[in-house]
Amino acid sequence: MAASDPSNPSSVAPEPAPPAEVRLQRPVVAPAIMALCVVGYGVTAIVGKAVQPDVLTLLVCGAKDRELVLHGGEWWRLLMAGFLHGGILHIVVNLYALRALGPLVEKLWGWQRFLLIYVGAVVVGNVVSLFATAELSVGASGGVFGLFGAVVVFSTVYRRFIRPDARRGLWVNLVVVVGINAALGITVPFIDNGAHVGGLVAGLVAALVLRPVMARLPRPASTMAVRVAAFGSIVLAAYAFQQAAFYVRGADWVLLARTEMVAHPLDGGALAIAVPRGWTYRAPTAKLRGHSFQREGMGVVRLRIVPPAQGVDVAAYAKSVVAASAKDNATLLKGQDAVVLGRQGVELLFKVEPKTGQPFRLRNVIFPSVTGGVVEASLASSEAAGFRLDLLFDLMVHSIHERGERPRRQSPWEQFIANPRDPAASTSLAAYYLVQDRAAGAESLLRLALAIAPGSAEAHDLLAYLYATVKPPLRDPSRALRHARRALALKPDTSAYLATLAIALEASGEPGEALAAAKRAAALAPDDARYADLVRRLSRGVPQQP
């Protein structure tokens, strides 16, 4: 693009010279946008653990999605999607286009107006895309086409500033950039030509309204307005990245969707357990009792059956585990009853501080064997282990099957193992975790359900209840309201959903509207005492306890 660079005396006519106060400056915003695109692509690669991000990965990082924008109130995706890309080829082509057009337009219009042209093109392009297709889309090409529109304006309306012999080179570069992007829009997933058209129109209009440096007259009022708008664009971009970070923070649900459990028969088929693919099996040894499965960087799961001949029950065995752990510098953090595979058991959580090495946590689940003995399953992991690892351990424990065991009703864990991408399975398991006061896990599962089935009213309702009632930092009344209203939009006049809306309104500081929603719920289900109790509580002004 050197031939068309207006800062080059050989390509731009010397007259009329720009005023001193608006001389062409070195581009800074265009390189920053390119860097942010690289950062966005790097985040998708880390979250998705793949060079070619899939739909769920792009969704969690801020891709444009009609359901989430129009009905979830996540308008920030209209800007964030411009910093994400669907693969290596996609980002390389857009970086090339940004490198070819970005510095040129920034020099011609100045960084503030350049920012408005680019951000406006990205947002308008994604708005057009929003109504043109329901498909998820990402990419900076809406902004690229906006820059193309700006250069078209300069090379036509303001062509007097370009030397005649430089115009041809400028148009050749433009045709190459636009041709490549148009071809990608037809052949590469996650690219929408509606965004190209919207970005192009927005760029043309913005370039005509804002005018380049060379043709601009000093007007203090308009200059101040541009500065305020440019600052607003920066704030909006920062907000979009902050919201995307919120989603990435809970990105466990993306990885949960890829969970593939593999059955492992043990002890000659007397015992079986399902383990995530990629975990390494180690047989019992004289020193290390029980079967173990290990995944580097995640943890170690051990499984052992104590035969009935040893004459111990669950309570006695749990006491022996606590006593033995104390000798290994382990501190008991929590001990509680637990129902495992329909049997009454015990769950123990320890913090272990070995004499050498890093501290870690140890989670033990102990429950009766069908043969009359005791089953012990344990997870050793770092203290920073997230919910996903806990869920994987739960899935393993609840997949245990012994020879001679009677068929039982399929549990929420087994439903999830059978199909992690079944939104009903995710929602069912989330409800169980919410009852267990494991809100972070429930949130990840519900976000997975909505990523797969955005029209799941039950998932919206449960997520609304979660955000309205849990303790900080997950508590978020504004999100609770959005999800509660979406659930009712999907299934109007549902008593349970109206009750959730009432709780969300109460959490948002709107007691009058909350009481009205609760009364509607009670009127629709007059025989259900829960709604009448909710009306009475809201009438007294007693707040919901998180």
Other CB atoms within 10 A of residue 538 CB: 23
Percent of the chain with pLDDT over 70: 86
* Nearest-angstrom CA–CA distance, 481 and 505: 7
pLDDT in tens, 60-83: 899 998 888 887 788 999 999 999
Of the candidates 90, 196, 291, 398, the residue annotated as catalytic is 196
Report the pLDDT averaged over residues 473-492: 93
Question: Could you confirm whether 11 is annotated as catalytic?
Answer: no
Q: What is the DSSP letter of 14?
A: S
Q: Which residues contact 269 (CB under 8 A, 6 or more apart)?
A: 403
Answer yes or no: is pLDDT of 413 > 90.
Answer: no
Handedness of CA 197, 198, 202, 203 (dihedral sign): negative
* Nearest-angstrom CA–CA distance, 382 and 384: 5
Of the candidates 4, 141, 292, 399, the residue annotated as catalytic is 141
Q: What is the DSSP letter of 159?
A: G
* Nearest-angstrom CA–CA distance, 101 and 149: 10
pLDDT (0 to 100) of residue 16:
44
pLDDT (0 to 100) of residue 7:
43
pLDDT (0 to 100) of residue 165:
56
Query: Please, what's the b/e burial string for 335-349 (b: 16 or more CB within 10 A of its CB; e: otherwise)?
Result: eeebebbeeebbbbe
pLDDT (0 to 100) of residue 312:
82
pLDDT (0 to 100) of residue 5:
47
pLDDT-derived band at 170, boundaries 50, 70, 90:
low
- Would you say how long the chain is, in residues? 546
pLDDT-derived band at 160, boundaries 50, 70, 90:
confident
Answer yes or no: is pLDDT of 223 > 70.
Answer: yes
pLDDT in tens, 307-362: 887 778 899 999 999 998 888 889 999 899 988 888 899 999 999 888 787 889 99
Q: What is the mean pLDDT of the chain?
A: 84
Residue of higher predicted confidence among 326 and 387? 326
List, in order of start, the domains of the chain with CATH numbers.
2-249 (1.20.1540.10), 259-402 (3.40.1000.10), 414-540 (1.25.40.10)
Answer yes or no: is pLDDT of 300 > 70.
Answer: yes
pLDDT (0 to 100) of residue 4:
43
pLDDT in tens, 20-52: 444 557 889 999 999 999 999 999 998 887 888
The answer to whether residues 342 and 328 touch, using CB atoms and an 8 Å cutoff, is: no
Question: Could you confirm whether 141 is annotated as catalytic?
Answer: yes
Is the bond leading into 212 cis (omega within 30 degrees of zero)? no
pLDDT in tens, 483-528: 999 999 999 999 999 999 999 999 999 999 999 999 999 999 999 9
Residue 407: Cβ-neighbour burial (10 angstroms; 0-12, 13-18, 19+)? exposed
Report the pLDDT averaged over residues 134-162: 86
Answer yes or no: is pLDDT of 9 > 50.
Answer: no
pLDDT (0 to 100) of residue 181:
65
Side-by-side strand order, sheet with 261-266: 261-266, 271-276, 401-402
Answer yes or no: is pLDDT of 166 > 60.
Answer: no
pLDDT (0 to 100) of residue 82:
95
pLDDT (0 to 100) of residue 188:
59
pLDDT in tens, 274-286: 998 889 999 988 7
Answer yes or no: is pLDDT of 175 > 80.
Answer: no
Answer yes or no: is pLDDT of 448 > 90.
Answer: no
